[in-house]
Amino acid sequence: MVGETDRKEKDESRKIAALLISLVVLLAAGALLLLSGLTEVVATHFEPGLGLRTAAVISFFVSAVLMIIFAIASGDGLLGEIQFVIPGFLVFFLILWLMIAWIF
């Protein structure tokens, strides 16, 4: 009895895993197909100003300095807060990068 329920659960979990993997592959293929159109839209809307490359450099240094200040001010120092600083840096960098390129 126990072996049969285990087998059914394994089969069900394999079906779910196969479905999830196929969904991820489908989404990745769709993203690759949309990438060329997306680059044209981004270049059209963000390029007339400062430019994406220059904005990325400015955003990197501003984000790095601010994340170090935030980590030191939080009390644990840079090493105690590293698991929060890295995702925060990436999000802050992305927002600053696009806003600098868009506004300036």
Question: Domain tally for the chain?
Answer: 2
Three-class SS state of 48:
coil
Judge whether residue 25 has pLDDT over 90: yes
Is the domain of 103 the same as that of 80? yes
For 66-95, what is each residue's pLDDT tens digit? 888 887 787 766 566 778 888 888 999 999
Is the domain of 68 the same as that of 24? no
How far is CA 103 from each of CA 27, 48, 76, rounded to the nearest angstrom?
Answer: 31, 10, 35
pTM: 0.51
Is the domain of 9 the same as that of 40? yes
Structure tokens at 87: 């995702």
Residue 103 · residue 48 · CB < 8 Å? no
Question: Residue 15 belongs to what domain range?
Answer: 1-46
Is the domain of 16 the same as that of 64? no
